[in-house]
Every structure is written in C-alpha cells, then in structure tokens.
Chains A and B, each alone.
Chain A
Amino acid sequence: MSEARETLAPGEAVQRLKFYQKGTFTVGNRLVGEDERSVQASQDRSNALTCGHRACQGCGEALGARYAIDAAMRATGKDMIAVNATGCLEVFTTPYPETSWQLPWVHSLFGNAAAVATGVAAAMRVKNKRTRVVAQGGDGGTTDIGFQCLSGMFERNDDVLYICYDNEGYMNTGVQRSSATPPAARTATTPAVGDEPGNVFGTGKSVPKIAVAHNIPYVATATVADLHDLERKVTKAMSVHGARYIQINVPCPLGWGAASHDTIHLARLAVECGLYPIFEAEHGRITHVRKIRKQVPVTDYLKRQRRFAHLFKGDRPDPRVARLQAMCDANIADYGLVAGADEEV
C-alpha cells in the first residue's frame, strides 16, 4: 500500500484509503486492489512454514518468517533453499520428526548462516541452477555472532537474501541482551536493578545502516505490523541479484513481557513512535522511507512491555524515558519520518 497504484500518487493512495477510519491503522483486504490483497486464505499460498511449529503464542518471529519466506517462495516459484542460524526460529520449526518447512532447509551453526548461504549459492551457480538462496537468523545470530560472516557475504555481493528477525535479544537462550536490545530494556543480562536498571544507553548498532554502507543492491527494514509492505519488500529483494538484507521487527511476547495479543500493536507502536525506522535503500542510498501516520509518544510503546516496567515505577518520571523519546525524535529527524505521506527519497 505504500506504493503508488495506477492513477494515484503515493500520498493520495494513503488518503483515499482512509487508514484511520477504524483506528487500527490497518488496511483490510477489501480496501486495496486485487493485486495488493493478502493471500492468507488462498489455496495457492505456498505455505513455506506450516503448522506444527512450537513457537510461543503471538510470536512475531513465526509470523514474520511465514510471510517473508512465503513471499520469497512465490517470487521464486518455490525454487529456493533456506539456510537458518541457530535460534528460536530454528528450534521451534524443526521439532523432528516434524518439520514446519516446506522447502529445502539447512541449519549449520549460530554464527555462520550467511557463509553457509554463500556456499549454497556458489553450488547453484556452478551447477547452472536458478535456485535462489535465503539465509535467516535472529538479531543475536545476525548483529553479534554472525556479523563477520554477514559482512563478508555483503562485501562479496554474494547472491543471497539475508533476513534478520529482530526481536531485540537472545530469546532462545532465555532473553539476554544483544547489540539490538534497546537502552533501558530489562533482559536476563541487563537486569532491572541498581542505579541504571536495564540495558545501558549509548550502546548498540544499526545493522541496516551498516548494510547500506556495504553498497549492496538492496537493504530494507520491515515490521510485522505491515505485512503487505513486508511481502512487497521480500518480493522486490528476490527480483534482484547480489547481496540483500531485510531486517524485520518481530515482537517477542515472552522476552518483552507483553501480551501475546499485543504483538502487532507493539510492532506498530515501535514504528509510529519513531523508535524503529522503516526504510529501503539501494546501492548505498536510502530510496524510500515509511512515514509515520500518526505519531505517538514513546511511552505508549514502553508501557505495554514489562521489560520497561521499571521506568514507570517511582512517583516521579524517570529521565530515561525522555532519553528514549530523544532517540525517537532523532530518528524522526534523521530519516524524515514525519512529513505526511510516504515519499520516494
């Protein structure tokens, strides 16, 4: 929906669809054109990731993976192979003898998914096969331990789409801090005790930005709050060759201390408060930024998660909430997140 349809400019499309009329910020299928409708209920759906997996209720990662890999399956006519890093997704999808994967899938190690995918892609090239390769992992497996392999794969411009499911922590091992954990968040290794409870400010890194700095053909961030946009980005990524990176914000009810029915809501608030910028970049340049439709204060986002509960305990406002709001404001300014409708940059 963020793209222009036949006769409408991007901004107009947003306006005419009247996103806000139901207060959900979502667009129901009936509001969009045939070609943009979700295929959830279609018999032709590829169903890369079928039922029988063991993810927690409301797991954002399971949802994100299903939509991302399904879109990739559709884009490649099911001619693709997936490489998975160790992590929740790997564990909950393959409780052997059951596997949820309907495509060839390999798990090797925690930190080498990008390199293994390079090897698969090399094998396809040498055998003159058109089979495409997707690597996927959590934020820990991507931004921390798998970072070197990821950068190597980017730098060589290997023909791999790497998808990072960012739930902002090492969830599979019981919620520890990663370099994608936001400041102040409580994890098992950044406990909510002491003078500065939770994760430290001034740490962490933006791997999407680092990916952009590799000048690879395509980089995007996405969110499970906008599955159409996610599908579109994966489809676009599969239409080009070379190294590509998509990072999807996937709330984790268990690790974030949130209600399992709040997954989509939280993902949306993360975007709407400015904490999680959604953008696309091609060959080192940002080409598209998803505008915030209705800006919300960061507190709306924080208050729904127990990992931030310590910020709201005392009778006086915790100054660190203002620091988090400042981070949102900086993102909004840096990426130009608030300026009406989506626009090409």
Chain B
Amino acid sequence: MLKQIEGSKAMAEAIALCRPEVICAYPITPQTHIVEGLGELVKDGHLTDCEYINVESEFAALSVAIGASAAGARAYTATASQGLLYMAEAVYNASGLGLPIVMTLGNRAIGAPINIWNDHSDAMSMRDAGWIQLFAETNQEAVDLHIQAFKLAEELSMPVMVCVDGFILTHAMERIDVPEQPQVDAWLPPYDPVQVLDPAEPISIGAMVGPEAFTEVRFLQHYKQTQALRLITDYARDFEKAFGRESGGLLRAYRVDDADVLVVAMGSVCGTIKDVIDEMRDEGIAIGLVTIVSYRPFPTDELRKMLAGAQDVVVVEKSIAVGVGGPLANNVDMALRNLPDAPRLHSAVAGLGGRPITKPSLHRLFRQASVQPWEGTHFLDLNERIVGREIHTTRKKRRSGPTAENLLRRLATEGDAR
C-alpha cells in the first residue's frame, strides 16, 4: 500500500511484516524510530507472537538476539554508530556461530568527536565481521531489503545488516509502498533453523576450536558469502516478480553505456549523483554511476565487468580508513586489479559526519577526475584554511589543546570563509 510515511516507520512496518519473534530494542539516534515503531506495533497488537525486549545495552541487544536465534526464533535488532561498536564482540560472535539475525544499521559517524550525523564509518568498522551488508539507496529499497534480508539470512544461516543512511533516509517523509502481509507471507517462509537448542535433541553450540579446524570454519564462512553473491541476485529477481519493483541485488548501473567516467558509490548519495550525471550527460560528458548494494559480499567480478570499459573511475564514499584512505576505493581497486588497460582510480571521501554532498561539489569532482586527477584520497569540500591553521598552531605550540574544540572555536570566531 502506498503511504506518505517516515522512512523509519515504513521500515518498522516492513520488519513487522516479516513476523520477527524476538526484537531487542536500545535507543541510539538515528535508528531509534525504527525500534520505537516496532514497539508500538507489538504493544497495540498489530504484531503478535513477538517478544519485544528493552535491553540495557547494544551488547545485550545482540546477545539476546543470539540466544533467541540459537533457540529457533526469528530475531531482529537495530543500532547505529557507537551502538554497533559497543556490540562489536557479539557482532563477530553471531556470524561465527552462523545465526541468521537481521539488524538495521542507521548509518552514523563514529566518535570522537561525538557526532550523530550520517556517514558510513560504523558499517565499515564491521565490514570484516562476517555479516552480509546491504546498503539501501532509497527508503523504498530500505523497506524491500529488510524483507529480502530475512530470507537471505535464514537460507544461508548468516546474519544480515541492512544499512540505511541516518536522517537522510531514517527521518525522511516520503511516498513508500509498504507491502501487504499476504504478499510477504507468500514470499518469506517461516524460519527453519539449521541448528537449534532443543532438549529433545541436545547439542552443544560454541565449543572451542583450535588450529585443527579454525581455518576450515572461516573458509566455510567465506564460501557461504560467495554463495550469497548468487543468492542476492536470485532473490532480487524473485522479489521483483512477486512485488513488481526492482530492489536489492549486488549492484546497479545508471547510464553506464559508453561511459568514459564511472562513479562508484553506496547508499542515498546515489540519488544526488544521478542528478549530477543527468546534467553532465546533457552537457555531452559520457558519465555513469554504479551503485553498490551488496558491500559484503563484495561483488568483485560483477563490478570488474561493469568498470572494464571506462577511462576513469571515481569512488565517492562516506568513510575514511585513517592512515590508508577510502575503504570502498580499496575494494574497487581490488576489482580493477589485473584488468588490461584498467581505468584510473580516483578516491574521494565525502559527507563525513553529515556534511552535505552538494551537486556543485560533485560536478567539480567528476570533471577534475579526467582533466586534473589528484593523488591519494581527496576530501571533498575540506576547509583547508582552518586545517592549515590548526597544523600551523600544533607545530608552534606544544600544548595546543584539543583539535576538535580548536577547529570549532576557529569557525565561530573566523567564520566559514574558505
């Protein structure tokens, strides 16, 4: 049914349609509205046969989900930013034990400095944790990905993280098609666990594993993610057949035909990028976009095929692996490796801590890539003036004080003239 609705509310309704049996809730902006929405649906009787548990931390949230999932219940939780880090140990544990938990991540920056706004550093912190990580471009896709996520998780017995941009998606009011219960029931079978704690058939789960089998356990985890590459494509196709719209999949192409410049990005920023591409195409520039939906497993081969013909590839990402550069750019680099006449790779970090990614800045960036390429990682719209002055001060003065506060003070007294 078409609704004018907040993204978080729509996601809550979609998750409820998947009939989760245990939901663990803990507040953290910008994910909070999702679990609040679910709490309401349980309390007012819309979602039945569901235990909604207000836990005392994110570590407990995921731990409760681990227990519920191991005992055969469909388990769900949501978090963001600091919350994801707080549950880090359990994140690895859930995937290591092969438990098909679904978790929404309302993407938000990680502190310090504390920042509640959107970027992808939280998701990146867990990119090697053995979870499938899917990034939604729109709220419609966020709704649809959750439905696909449960099916994917349970088929593979592997947890899935649905990443949705904080505020930009979670707090946006827009027109969203929320499916009907019979549609979802027909598409998503009940959870049939591959391992379950059952007194009738007692098993031990979580034994210590030494060097004799640890590599093999990890290999099988990796193998399952390579299987997921196929399954994610298949399920997206099935989903389109059943629900009548395209959502999910490994990656999506936009105006890539004959493109000299290809942009690679994830999440909601792809909307802005598409607008810029349309404008540049109107000006006769052959440019296109590849949207990565599945960051883990990473669709290396599929991406390679898509990027092969381009001259320049520009990766725009909302995260920075400090000391290295953009993590997405690194993975794209992997796809380009060994490609004869590989396109040049340009890495840009943008939108950190919620900084708006504007069309004029993207225009400049994409043009610069082919005419005046940069070395290393480019920080889009970096305020070079205050950065320069801070570097200067720290060189001159030993006790220069806390960096973040220094920058804020400079901005307040000197203004944002760049």
Contact = CB atoms under 8 A, between A and B. Distances in A.
A101 B93 contact: no
A148 B57 contact: yes
Nearest to A76: B199
A99 to B, nearest CB: 4
A117 B72 CA distance: 13
A106 interface: yes
Interface stretch (A123-131, A251-259, A269-277, A322-330): A123-131
Contact of A108 (B55, B72, B93, B203): B93
Interface in B171-204: 197-199, 201-204
Contacts of B63: 108-109, 112, 115-116, 118-119, 149
Interface string A70-102: 000000001111011000001100111001011
B: interface residue count bin: 35 or more
Interface stretch (A151-159, A162-170, A205-213, A335-343): A151-159
B202 A105 contact: yes
A56 interface: no
B54 interface: yes
Given A104-B199, A108-B63, A148-B60, A119 B54 contact: no
Given A102-B202, A104-B197, A123 B90 contact: no
A198 interface: no
Interface string B42-58: 00000001110111110
A123 B22 contact: yes
Contacts of A148: 56-57, 59-60
B22 A119 contact: yes
Nearest to B203: A104
Contact of B55 (A79, A107, A115, A125): A115
Contacts of A80: 199
A115 B65 CA distance: 9
Given A105-B202, A123-B71, A156 B54 contact: yes
Interface in A125-183: 125-127, 131, 148-149, 151-152, 155-156
A103 interface: yes
Interface stretch (B206-214, B311-319, B391-399): B206-214
B66 A119 contact: yes
Given A112-B60, A115-B55, A127-B72, A94 B204 contact: yes
Contacts of B56: 148-149, 151-152, 155
Contacts of B247: none
A90 B71 CA distance: 19
B207 A99 contact: yes
A116 B66 contact: yes
A167 B53 CA distance: 32
Interface string B2-28: 000000000000000000011010000
Given A99-B204, A109-B89, A119-B65, A81 B71 contact: yes
Contacts of B97: 108
A155 to B, nearest CB: 7
A97 B75 CA distance: 29
A112 B59 contact: yes
A155 B60 CA distance: 13
A244 B65 CA distance: 21
B21 A120 contact: no
A122 interface: yes
Contact of B64 (A102, A103, A118, A125): A118
B205 interface: yes
A2 to B, nearest CB: 31
Central interface residue in A96, A106, A119, by most chain B CB within 10 Å: A119
Contacts of B37: none
Given A105-B204, A106-B205, A108-B93, A119 B57 contact: no
A104 B55 CA distance: 24
Interface string B265-286: 0000000000000000000000
B164 to A, nearest CB: 24
Interface string B312-341: 000000000000000000000000000000
B309 interface: no
Given A94-B204, A104-B197, A106-B197, A126 B60 contact: no
B385 to A, nearest CB: 45
Given A116-B67, A117-B67, A119-B65, A107 B206 contact: yes
A90 B204 CA distance: 11
Central interface residue in B50, B66, B207, by most chain A CB within 10 Å: B207
A28 B66 CA distance: 44
A20 B316 CA distance: 81
Contacts of B93: 108-109
Given A112-B59, A149-B60, A149-B63, A119 B68 contact: yes
Given A112-B60, A119-B68, A125 B205 contact: no
Contacts of B199: 78-81, 103-104, 131
A83 B202 contact: no
A119 B66 CA distance: 7
Given A99-B204, A99-B207, A107-B206, A115 B59 contact: yes
A64 interface: no
A113 to B, nearest CB: 8
Contact of A123 (B73, B201, B208): B73
Given A96-B207, A96-B209, A126-B50, A119 B67 contact: yes
A123 B72 contact: yes
Contact of A109 (B68, B90, B203, B207): B90
B103 to A, nearest CB: 14
A217 interface: no
A119 B64 contact: yes
A103 B207 CA distance: 14
Contact of B205 (A78, A103, A107, A112): A107
Contact of A91 (B54, B73, B208): B208
A112 B56 CA distance: 12
Given A104-B199, A104-B203, A109-B89, 5 more contacts: A108-B63, A117-B67, A119-B69, A122-B73, A156-B54
Closest 7 CB pairs of A and B: A119-B67, A107-B206, A152-B56, A115-B63, A123-B71, A112-B63, A123-B73
Interface of B: 21-22, 24, 49-51, 53-57, 59-60, 63-73, 75, 89-90, 93, 97, 197-199, 201-209
Interface of A: 78-81, 83-84, 90-91, 94-96, 99, 101-109, 111-112, 115-127, 131, 148-149, 151-152, 155-156
6 contacts: A112-B59, A116-B66, A119-B66, A120-B71, A123-B68, A126-B51
